[in-house]
Amino acid sequence: MKEFVGLEEITKLDFLVMLFAEILGTFLLVLLGCASCISWDMTPPSVLHIAFTFGLAVASLAQVLGPISGCHVNPAVSLGLLVSGNCSFLKTICYAVCQCCGAIAGAVVLKLLLPKPQVALGLGATTLHSEVTDAQGVAVEIIITFLLVLVVHAVTDPKRTDVKGWAPLAIGLTISVAHMAAVRITGSSMNPARSLGPAVVDDKYKHLWVYWVGPLIGGAVAGGVYRMGLKASREDDEGSYDF
């Protein structure tokens, strides 16, 4: 239970560096990713453009911040790792708060960097297609977040040797694939913090709950599925704990 709560872990000085890494990572993700969603000269960006911007941004951040904080940059990822036994409760809460703060800061800086005509068109906030219902939006977000968190578990599993060095690329490509499939449907968030940042700065909260409920459910289910059925087996069960 002590390991699940994680009180000792968050009282260490190194934990502040980890929190800073999560703030910085989510800040850069929202700043760069949402910048790819901006329309210029009334020409909307292509789905491929947005997909690869988000995917490559996460891959780059994972390469730099992965050894420091794990580069979750996503409350749904942190929740999934909590469920699978790879992240303590208090660490998950602290990470989620920092991720949300970083996302809001990223959206603020993006607004300051853009000309007023572009700001008026929006800051890349996620929104449902006009013909997509709330229930459909939640379902899509559950599915794509489930895929993302499942891949995160697979490529960061210390018991697997076949994926060493591939984690950033695999995660980035997963995000790109999900975007190509779902940008037109929900905006392909998979990340409550990513949706929160532009929503707060734009002061537009319609459907925001969809981008919290869907990804959090998807992340939690993926963590449970990986822990119960897909986890690599080996006699030494280091890096995990039982509830």
Residue 122, domain CATH: 1.20.1080.10
Determine the average pLDDT of the residues in 199-221.
96
Residue 236 is assigned to a structural domain of this protein: no
- pLDDT, tens only, 1-42: 666 677 777 788 899 999 999 999 999 999 999 999 998 877
Determine the average pLDDT of the residues in 92-99.
97
More confident residue, 186 or 10: 186
Range of the domain at 187: 2-230
Question: Which residue in the block uniquely carries the two structure tokens 């990804």?
Answer: 215
- pLDDT, tens only, 72-87: 999 999 999 999 999 9
Instruction: Give the start-end residues of each E strand in 36-99.
Output: none
d(CA 89, CA 2): 10
d(CA 58, CA 238): 27
pLDDT of 143 over the 90 cut: yes
User: Do residues 47 and 184 lie in contact, with contact meaning Cβ atoms separated by under 8 Å?
Assistant: yes
Residue 241 is assigned to a structural domain of this protein: no
d(CA 88, CA 5): 5
Question: What burial letters (b/e) apply to 69-88, b meaning 16+ CB within 10 Å?
Answer: bbbbbbbbbbbbbbbbbbbb
C-alpha gyration radius of the chain: 17
pLDDT of 160 over the 50 cut: yes
Residue 16 is assigned to a structural domain of this protein: yes
What is the value of pTM for the model shown? 0.91
User: Do residues 226 and 153 lie in contact, with contact meaning Cβ atoms separated by under 8 Å?
Assistant: yes
pLDDT of 233 over the 80 cut: no
Burial of 164 (0-12, 13-18, 19+ CB in 10 A): exposed
d(CA 88, CA 242): 11
Residue 89 is assigned to a structural domain of this protein: yes
Domains of the chain: total: 1
Question: Which residue in the block uniquely carries the two structure tokens 């000085």?
Answer: 13
Residue 183 is assigned to a structural domain of this protein: yes
CA 117 to chain centre: 29
d(CA 134, CA 199): 17
Determine the average pLDDT of the residues in 122-146.
96
Nearest Cα to Cα of residue 211 among 229, 189, 231, 230: 189
